[in-house]
Chain A
Amino acid sequence: MPSLRELGLGIIAIANQKGGVGKTVTAINLAAGLAKAGERVLVVDGDPQANLSLFFGAREKAKSGTGDLGKLIAAVSAGERPLLRKHIIRQVRRGLDLLPAGGRGLRLELGEEALVRASPGFATLLAEARKEYRWIILDCSPSNGALERLLVGASEAVIVPLEFQLFSVAGLEALVEDVSVFSSELGRRIRVHAVVFTKAENKLSRVEAYREIFSSYKIPVFEVCRSEYVPRSLERSRTLWESAPSSFAARDYARILKKAFLG
């Protein structure tokens, strides 16, 4: 399996239209894990619920005048050329910067039209930011609207968190179709790079059936086990690398970083 590094890709969307599948936890631990490995990383909170921003303490860390993703998109949509750095909170962890969400206004105030208008400019901004950041990790919103289109459309590759559950797998199917449509509209390939079964456990009978099905697909599939350390670390606003680095869940994320990213 060629890694994202080997492929020269660095703008990675963590996406699935189904909510509650572990997108934010995956984005946090992959972004923080890359930063811990010495890479320069920007993590983008693209979910209006702003859980990722809350986790990294965006409200407390923002200086007066710091923008956010909502303000950035509004400016791009208005035809301006905003400076990405004015919207970023520096060093939420060593080597890791954050573009916070900006709350519910991200979707409600901007509206679909503004998001569609901003898409090409936003993609250009992120592509230019690759000069500073080796990795840009986008935590996408659980929707199939213009916001998801803007985020996935700006990415070079997608990682899809899933649960062993029918609706979650249906979310993957819908996303794969969307990615294919976005790719042909943009005239460049957005790679569906890997699937991550989060909250994996052996007890459920359906798990083996999903494993059998997914192991035949021509795509890397990873599991991250269900672990009490995950909610506990979120409660304490600490990454798995900080709170439970030897837990199985941390080892599972470490393996994704090693094989899918840094390879």
Chain B
Amino acid sequence: MARKSAKIDKRGELAANLSSALPSDGESSYELSTAFIPALTRRYIGIWAVVEHLMEGEPWIDRFSAEKLRGAELREPLYRATYDFNEKVCIKRVSVEGRLALAEGEVSYEYKTTVALDWEPGPAGRLCVRPEIGYQFSSLDGQIAAVRELERAGKASIVQSRFEGGDLVLEEGGDYKRLRKVD
């Protein structure tokens, strides 16, 4: 036991030394062997619905209303989001519906975004995710208000994932999502 912890200490010491010796201006990236990816990938495959979504501890939908709708009140908001994980691509679909209180009266509001994400599992629950293509759409009283194509082949980001019971938890900075399998 003592020998084992001495080895772990040595590993920690080496890790700290290396951390200061290696370049500090580069990017972190860790590519698991392609031999290990299929088994890791299998755990994620399927359609997952977001059952809880917080942004820095606040419900995401409140942040959305404050930021996207410039503070206009969204009444009876209905937020739905799914992640459809396939072998290489994950389709993220988000939809928000409700009634928007404007000066001229109440209108129905709809927002949708669909993004195809290139994804790959990494070590220790990290997922490397990169948007490949996507669009955002919003409508007021059934009339298209805005349509936007998202930047193609966007920047890769690292999302931390873990499985809790049957749920999948995804965290990226202050963004926290709990997902449950629907199929």
Contact = CB atoms under 8 A, between A and B. Distances in A.
A202 interface: yes
A216 interface: yes
B29 A1 contact: yes
Chain B interface mostly = mixed
Contact of B28 (A170, A177, A215): A215
Contact of B14 (A170, A200, A249, A251): A170
Interface in A107-155: none
A21 to B, nearest CB: 15
B5 interface: no
A55 interface: no
Q: Which interface residue of B11, B21, B122 has the most chain A CB atoms within 10 A? A: B21
B26 A218 contact: yes
B12 to A, nearest CB: 8
Interface stretch (A11-19, A73-81, A206-214): A206-214
Given A173-B14, A209-B11, A220 B36 contact: no
B32 interface: yes
Chain A interface mostly = helix
A1 B26 contact: yes
Contact of A202 (B11, B26, B36): B36
Interface stretch (A32-40, A41-49, A221-229, A237-245): A221-229
A167 to B, nearest CB: 10
Q: Which interface residue of A166, A223, A225 has the most chain B CB atoms within 10 A? A: A223
Interface in A156-193: 166, 169-170, 172-173, 176-177, 180, 191-192
A192 B22 contact: yes
Interface string B16-58: 0111011111111111111110000000000000000000000
A217 B25 CA distance: 10
Nearest to B7: A166
B22 A251 contact: no
B14 A212 contact: no
A182 to B, nearest CB: 14
B22 A219 contact: yes
Interface of A: 1, 166, 169-170, 172-173, 176-177, 180, 191-192, 200, 202, 206, 208-225, 227, 248-249, 251-252, 255, 259
